Structure 1
Amino acid sequence: MQKIILYTLVIALSFLSKVTAQNKKKAETFEKKVESISNKMDFLLFREKTELKLKVDSLENAFSNQKISANELKDAKLAAAEKSANRIEEGMDKYKKELDDLLQSKLDNESKNITYKIDTINGKKVLVYFKKGEGGHTVTLGGGTNDSIGTQTEYNISSLKIFKGEKDKIERKSKRTTSQFVFATGLNNVITEGESLSDSDFRVWGSHFYEWGFTYNSRIFKNNNLLHAKYGLSLMYNNLRPTENRYFVRNGEQTELVTGGVNFDESRFRNVFLVAPLHLEFDFSPKKTSKDGERTYFKTHESVRLGIGGYAGVRIKSKQILKYEIDDLDIKERQKGDFNVNDFTYGLSAYIGYKATSLYLKYDLNPMFQNNAVDQNNISLGVRFDFN
């Protein structure tokens, strides 16, 4: 299959090169080189197949004449097949590299005929790419939009999407279900039973969380934009930095904070979870009307948004990172294990903001450690970005 794909790609490029008369000779040379490599591949496969068959026939005759046992026959066949397969793999890798080099050279030569210019269309700056004898391809600069250019392509880096013109952008962003890339970061800490955050065992400004993932946003009512169901998958990274030169130690079923025997330059405890968040989102983005007045559509993330809901997931890993110095040697330890951390997590979360940016709060309902005498529940506050 890989061979067929390579042939198809190379032949397609060769065919395109024939469009221009002055490249005809080069195209013929290119095709001959491809044909030569193809013949080498066919010859290699035929030779190995034939020699393996002859070898197996010879072994079968030796077995029939009772010169080797059944086990020896089996082992010899396997060894011969492995040697043949290795020779085929090595040969194919060699010829594949020749094809790759030939194709790369072809692409490099073709790209020399491509140029661009900066143009302004309806007040928008665009890059227009040209190939001699062909039309241009327009790309918006700075992620802008232009209602009057149907062939304009917009590469929206923040949302990881490509829009083929303003019409395509409007249709996709006004669908009843849209998708977003989500990134959040901020402060992380724990609520300890019987204590306040001011008495926390962890640095307030030194402990952080990160979250990234993808969500779907589905408008609940067909002709009303207020209520949406927002759901997806995210990775949560909860980092804690203990105070007073301490670090975590597992003591049987308990996990305790103890004072280090050295001065730590860094003491950080990280839990990573794969979670499925679910929110009811109130989106106050107004409905819009097309320029001809014939169509009403809804867009999300255009105004104030409020989301309330929760999440549930599983722990991926736990890790403690310690950095310190002994005898002028910088030492960095990475300790991996479960540290008696709960394998599952679930909690409540909410966010409120404008367009893509929101203030984000999440709180674990289950304690961080399974069997500690005092419960500690993770809490995070930060900024969230939903790139639509």
Structure 2
Amino acid sequence: MRNFTIYLALLLCLFAGKMMAQETFEDKAKAISDKIESVTKQEKATLKTEVDAVNKELEAGTITDKQADEKKLQLAEMRAKNIETKVNEYETELRDLVQQKVDGKLQDDGKRSYTFRWNVKNDSIKRKHKGESRTTSQFVFAFGANNLVTDGAAGPFRL
């Protein structure tokens, strides 16, 4: 029973924290962009099913190729208009959100970041780098001409 009480209290704290949390500007903008994306995906999926139905009619022979193309074009235009109108609504909502942010009507999310620094004043602990660096970032071009020095004497590679 004690464990149940602890888990229940922990669960309630988590839900209370989630409900009390304010949505930030970024969260709201992300939600609007997700809505726009879902609308376009939904309309494209609907268009695909409608085009498949037209293709089945064409295969069945109930319509001609020209009629099928016209029907597909009409469906595509209709779906494009649907996407445009729905996306325009969400774009105006996004513009209003940005304007509220610019005007200062949206409150800060209240998140603060704290940094802790530990300054070490003992020089023996700090390591100072003295001397020349062992690695460099220079470009090196090398060319070997050993056969030229020996006047073509016997070597491992002969032509």
TM-score normalised per structure 1: 0.21
- CA–CA distance in 2 between the matches of 1:87 and 1:26? 35
- Which residue in the other structure is 2:100 paired with? 105
- Which residue in the other structure is 1:34 paired with? 29
- Which residue in the other structure is 1:45 paired with? 40
2:60 to 62, 65, 75: 65
Please give the root-mean-square deviation of Cα atoms over the aligned residues, in Å.
2.0
1:80 to 75, 80, 95: 75
Stretches (4+) displaced over 3 A: 25-28
AA of the residue aligned to 1:53: K
User: Which structure has greater helix proportion?
Assistant: 2
Q: Structure 1 97/26 Cα, relative in aligned 2: closer, same or farther at 3 Å?
A: farther
Cα distance, 1:71 vs structure 2 = 1.5
- CA–CA distance in 1 between the matches of 2:22 and 2:97? 12
Residues 221-249 of structure 1: per-residue CA shift (max 9 Å, x gap):
xxxxxxxxxxxxxxxxxxxxxxxxxxxxx
Indicate yes or no: 2:60 matched with 1:94: no
User: Which structure has greater strand proportion?
Assistant: 1
- Which residue in the other structure is 2:121 paired with? none
Secondary structure class of the residue paired with 1:67? coil
Higher normalized contact order (CA 8 Å, seq sep 6+, divided by chain length): 2
Q: Structure 1 103/95 Cα, relative in aligned 2: closer, same or farther at 3 Å?
A: same
1:55 to 45, 50, 56: 50
Identity of aligned residues (%): 35
**Number of corresponding residues:** 86
Q: Which sections of structure 2, spanning at least 5 residues, go unmatched?
A: 1-19, 106-159
Residues 176-221 of structure 1: per-residue CA shift (max 9 Å, x gap):
xxxxxxxxxxxxxxxxxxxxxxxxxxxxxxxxxxxxxxxxxxxxxx
AA of the residue aligned to 2:74: A
Cα distance, 1:26 vs structure 2 = 9.5
Q: Which sections of structure 1, spanning at least 5 residues, go unmatched?
A: 1-24, 111-388
- Which residue in the other structure is 1:280 paired with? none
TM-score normalised per structure 2: 0.51
- CA–CA distance in 2 between the matches of 1:79 and 1:30? 39
Cα distance, 1:102 vs structure 2 = 0.2
Question: Where in structure 2 are the equivalents of 1:236-315 lying within 5 Å?
Answer: none
